[in-house]
Amino acid sequence: MHAWLAALCGMAGGGALAALSLSIARSGRFEPLSGNTERQKTRIGRDAASAVTLDEVMACLPAATLVLNDTRLPFVISAEARRQFTNSLGSIIRHPAFQSSVDRLLAQKKEDQQPAEALIVLDIPHYRVVRAWLQKKTVPDAFLPEGYRKGGGAFSSRITLVFVALHDETEAVLAERQHTDFVAFASHELRTPLASLLGFIETLQGPAADDPVIQKEFLGIMSEQARRMQRLLDGLLYLSRVQMQEHHRPRETIGIAELLRRLSDEAAGLIAGKPVRFQVQVDDAQELCVQGDEAQLLQVLMNLVENALKYGLFDRGKRNGDPLDITVSCTRAARNSGWPAEPGLVLSVTDTGPGIPARHLNRLTERFYRVAKTAASVQGSGLGLAIVQQILARHDGRFVVESTVGEGTACRIWLPLLS
């Protein structure tokens, strides 16, 4: 970003020469400056200014840049800046950190000019982190767009401008935060069963060394704790593999009806012996196909069915003996329904479980995040929906969870149809 700002300031600083050269080149001839030299300079300057102006230079830059005039208002904004920061430019410019950097920049003496930098954190309308690099430059009046020239377009008249380059660092900041949370949660999730195992081992080596009853009980608990760690590590490894493939779009053609039949077969073992009515509706999916990785999409559906089963049966005492209903279905995505405009399909996994409070819905796909009420009673690693989200990102898909406490939960997946 520093390079774009330096290039822009360099072009602005040499604007007079560049404009003059371009004017001569376009005319195809060189006219000696004889006679009324000042009049010829003014004419050439006017022609040059109409040939190359600041807004034309900015239009060529693939970076988010803007220029502030002497009243600190933006009067030239690059197309990329408009695209990236459409609804945030005003908030960025008014931000105290930005204004403070402008103050420091304008206070610099001509012989001691240094670029300034500002980190801007916005919370409204949504969280955003933007880094701004600022550089002061005095340029010829002729380099400005018409309507902003104060000296009539003469090269002798000059104006001080502030050139700004913007870079959106939101994703990088959120990724760093997720990484920090990941290390903290992973350490906690592994430390708990590990501490339990060490405690039981010490007991078996000491007081319970000759007690077969306690040994049998403790070995059973140790086995479960070891399996808990294994599930966690398996989930982490699987998530890591999916992330490594994130930028490699799968090319396999998948028939949705066949995918749902495989899901029905694999889920049968999970459902067996439980008070659950499980339905997979295949009829509407007969002609629908997507491009993807069949094993990964099957994993997505299995994760959702497992969640519906585990959390749907939680607190069974309030169900009055009624079985849990879990339904998997597929339909074509309706237009203007909040999904992308291109043709797609929606896979839904719905249940009649206890539902999830609204305050938790936006965090369900975070790694290790679990609803506190069920975390202690329901086994899980907190990675299932993070894996779902990661796989769907690889497939250009979307994922939405809708839930009403006391009524149930619907997990919906949008995937682009294979044309």
- 209-228 confidence digits (pLDDT tens): 888 888 888 898 898 888 88
Mark whether 418 and 331 lie in a shared domain. Answer: yes
pLDDT computed for residue 7 by the predictor = 55
Q: What is the dihedral of CA 390, 393, 398, 403, to 10 degrees?
A: 10
pLDDT computed for residue 269 by the predictor = 87
- Please compute the mean of the pLDDT values over residues 90-99 and round it to a whole number: 93
Can you tell me the distance from the alpha carbon of 404 to that of 322, in angstroms, rounded to the nearest whole number? 18
Give the confidence band of 23 by pLDDT, cuts at 50, 70, 90. very low
Mark whether 263 and 404 lie in a shared domain. Answer: yes
Indicate the residue among 142, 168, 194 that finishes a domain: 168
Indicate the residue among 244, 267, 290 that finishes a domain: 244
Q: Supply the pTM of this predicted model.
A: 0.56
Question: 167 has which bridge partners?
Answer: 131
| DSSP E strands, 85-207 | 116-122, 128-140, 158-168
Mark whether 155 and 217 lie in a shared domain. Answer: no
> 299 and 325 in contact (C-beta within 8 Å)?
no
> 77 and 66 in contact (C-beta within 8 Å)?
yes
pLDDT computed for residue 377 by the predictor = 60
Of 290, 291, 324, give the one whose Cα is nearest residue 305. 324
Between 240 and 44, residue with greater pLDDT? 240
Mark whether 66 and 98 lie in a shared domain. Answer: yes
In this structure, how many other beta carbons lie within 10 angstroms of the beta carbon of residue 384?
22
CATH assignment at residue 203: 1.10.287.130
Mark whether 350 and 307 lie in a shared domain. Answer: yes
Can you tell me the distance from the alpha carbon of 397 to that of 282, in angstroms, rounded to the nearest whole number? 20
| Residue pointed to by tokens 């779902």 | 388
Give the confidence band of 154 by pLDDT, cuts at 50, 70, 90. low
Contacts of 124 (CB under 8 A, 6+ apart): 91
- Over pLDDT 70: what percentage of the chain? 78
Mark whether 194 and 151 lie in a shared domain. Answer: no
Query: With 80 as the cut, is the pLDDT of residue 152 above it?
Result: no
Query: With 70 as the cut, is the pLDDT of residue 112 above it?
Result: yes
Mark whether 81 and 69 lie in a shared domain. Answer: yes
| Residue pointed to by tokens 């608990």 | 221
Of 337, 340, 341, 310, give the one whose Cα is nearest residue 326. 310
- Please compute the mean of the pLDDT values over residues 4-18 and round it to a whole number: 53
pLDDT computed for residue 27 by the predictor = 37
pLDDT computed for residue 372 by the predictor = 67
CATH assignment at residue 92: 3.30.450
Between 37 and 134, residue with greater pLDDT? 134
DSSP β-ladder status, 64-68 and 158-168: antiparallel
In this structure, how many other beta carbons lie within 10 angstroms of the beta carbon of residue 199?
14
Give the confidence band of 3 by pLDDT, cuts at 50, 70, 90. low
Out of 173-187, 298-312, 347-361, pick the least confident.
Answer: 173-187
pLDDT computed for residue 349 by the predictor = 96
Domain that holds residue 113: 2-168
Residue type, 224: E
Residue type, 28: G
In this structure, how many other beta carbons lie within 10 angstroms of the beta carbon of residue 117?
15
Question: 164 has which bridge partners?
Answer: 66, 134
Mark whether 157 and 178 lie in a shared domain. Answer: no
Query: With 90 as the cut, is the pLDDT of residue 132 above it?
Result: yes
Question: 57 has which bridge partners?
Answer: none
pLDDT computed for residue 126 by the predictor = 76
Helix (H) or strand (E) holding 204: helix 170-205
pLDDT computed for residue 401 by the predictor = 94
- Please compute the mean of the pLDDT values over residues 154-175 and round it to a whole number: 83
Can you tell me the distance from the alpha carbon of 413 to that of 419, in angstroms, rounded to the nearest whole number? 18
38-42, 127-131, 157-161, 239-243: range with highest mean pLDDT: 127-131
In this structure, how many other beta carbons lie within 10 angstroms of the beta carbon of residue 102?
19
The total number of structural domains that make up the chain: 3
Mark whether 287 and 187 lie in a shared domain. Answer: no
pLDDT digits (tens, 9 = 90+) for 318-336: 566 789 999 999 999 988 7
Mark whether 164 and 196 lie in a shared domain. Answer: no
Give the confidence band of 375 by pLDDT, cuts at 50, 70, 90. low
- Please compute the mean of the pLDDT values over residues 93-100 and round it to a whole number: 94
- Over pLDDT 90: what percentage of the chain? 30
Mark whether 274 and 330 lie in a shared domain. Answer: yes
Can you tell me the distance from the alpha carbon of 308 to that of 322, in angstroms, rounded to the nearest whole number? 15
137-151, 244-258, 263-277, 369-383: range with highest mean pLDDT: 263-277
Contacts of 171 (CB under 8 A, 6+ apart): none
HSE value, Cβ hemisphere, 13 Å, CA-based, for 207: 5
Can you tell me the distance from the alpha carbon of 90 to that of 395, in angstroms, rounded to the nearest whole number? 35
Residue type, 253: T
Contacts of 115 (CB under 8 A, 6+ apart): 2, 5, 105, 133, 134, 135
How much is the CA Rg of the chain, to the nearest whole Å?
32
Indicate the residue among 168, 190, 208 that finishes a domain: 168
Residue type, 419: S
Helix (H) or strand (E) holding 196: helix 170-205
Of 176, 152, 143, give the one whose Cα is nearest residue 76. 143
CATH assignment at residue 292: 3.30.565.10
Of 64, 98, 69, give the one whose Cα is nearest residue 82. 64
Mark whether 103 and 75 lie in a shared domain. Answer: yes
Helix (H) or strand (E) holding 77: strand 74-77
> 170 and 128 in contact (C-beta within 8 Å)?
yes
Peptide bond into 62 cis (omega under 30): no
Query: With 90 as the cut, is the pLDDT of residue 411 above it?
Result: yes
Can you tell me the distance from the alpha carbon of 323 to that of 312, in angstroms, rounded to the nearest whole number? 10
Q: Which two tokens stand for residue 42?
A: 């003014």
